[in-house]
Amino acid sequence: MKVLVTGAGGQLGRALIAKAPEGAEVVAATSRELDISDRAAVPAFVRRERPGLILNAAAYTAVDGAESDRERAEAVNDTGVANLVAAAEEVGARMAHVSTDFVFDGSASQCYAPDARTAPLGVYGATKLAGERRLRPGDLCVRTAWVYAADGENFVRTMLRLMAEREQLGVVADQIGSPTSAGDLADALWRLALEGHAGTFHFTNSGVASWYDFAVAIRDEAVALGLLPGAAARVKPIATSEYPTPAKRPAFSVLDTGATSAALGDHPPHWRHSLIKVLEQIKTHG
């Protein structure tokens, strides 16, 4: 089947391309090749390529930036999805879309089921939720959280850089979620999409952590792999109130992945296991 992957230059986009299964004829479009917010370019591109499936990995992901740039966040995360859905409808394609834990307010104390009440705290989450609502009943929406990869801009790479530079690092300990490897997410997304699942699913790596726990694990595993010196930065737990950001973030955003595991017949790897695999890739490829 011909599959259009949008946002192909992002961390998930690159993972989707690397993990494309045999039989998927991938047409990869970076933001330069296809701006999904362009109402004329999207149908023209889709009419030319005539994919059977559109995997949308394109998004405005600057959570803090969105607070002062609502227009751009809406154009990509909401209108962009609407443009893709309209073009998909025209050529008879399905959509597989990716959304976020930021559609929830984080006030729950149990993991969020796909049908849990949504209540985004900020502009990014609100525009992603609006994008979800553009999908048709037969489309697939996979919400995920705390995504990182061996390359690109993400928490793991930022921590490795800061830990090499500083003696001590304060990391937020009162936000809880599930760190998720882009490669594992890409595997799940390909399977859910190609096996024809429709509706909203949740996928993260299993296990939960605070950003502080995640940072400590990054340091310890990086030291064990020789990526950081033994005397690498000490990590200090801090409160969210000590690290103010323009966007409010959910304090608890653990997603219930049970329906995804049932659909796929296996459980996601534990986040620490996947972290080690990604650190090994960083060690090998830089």
Ligand X SMILES: NC(=O)c1ccc[n+]([C@@H]2O[C@H](COP(=O)([O-])OP(=O)(O)OC[C@H]3O[C@@H](n4cnc5c(N)ncnc54)[C@H](OP(=O)(O)O)[C@@H]3O)[C@@H](O)[C@H]2O)c1
Judged by CB under 6 A, does residue 58 bind ligand X?
yes
Residue 31, interface with ligand X (CB under 6 A)? yes
Cα–Cα distance measured from residue 179 to residue 191, given in angstroms and rounded to the nearest whole number: 20
Q: Please pick, among 112, 124, 148, 212, the residue that the annotation labels catalytic.
A: 124
Q: Is 10 in the site for ligand X (CB under 6 A)?
A: yes
Residues 6+ positions from 159 with CB-CB distance below 8 Å: 169, 171, 215, 218, 219
Q: How far is CA 177 from its chain centroid?
A: 13
Question: Out of 11, 205, 257, 260, which residue is the one contacting ligand X (CB under 6 A)?
Answer: 11
- Rounded-to-integer distance, Cα 137 and Cα 149, Å: 31
Where in 130-159 is the site for ligand X (CB under 6 A)? 144-147, 152
* 37 lies in the site for ligand X, by CB under 6 A: yes
Q: How far is CA 140 from CA 51, 64, 240, 260, in A?
A: 16, 27, 33, 12
Binding-site size, ligand X (CB under 6 A):
28
In this complex, which beta carbon is closest to ligand X, that of residue 12 or of residue 163?
12
**59 part of the interface to ligand X, by CB under 6 A:** yes
Q: Is 265 left (phi over 0), alpha (psi -120 to 50) or beta?
A: left
Among 57, 172, 188, 275, the residue binding ligand X under the rule CB under 6 A is: 57
Query: Is residue 126 close enough to count as binding ligand X by CB under 6 A?
Result: no
By CB under 6 A, which span of 28-36, 194-202, 208-216, 258-266 interacts with ligand X? 28-36
- Is 124 known to be catalytic? yes
CB-wise, 53 or 147, nearer to ligand X?
147
Residues of span 93-122 touching ligand X by CB under 6 A: 98, 100-101
Among 24, 76, 156, 275, binds ligand X (CB under 6 A): 76
> Residue 161: which of 224, 88, 228, 245 has the closest Cα?
228
Q: CA dist 52 to 98, 101, 203, 286, Å?
A: 18, 28, 23, 36
Show which residues are catalytic: 124
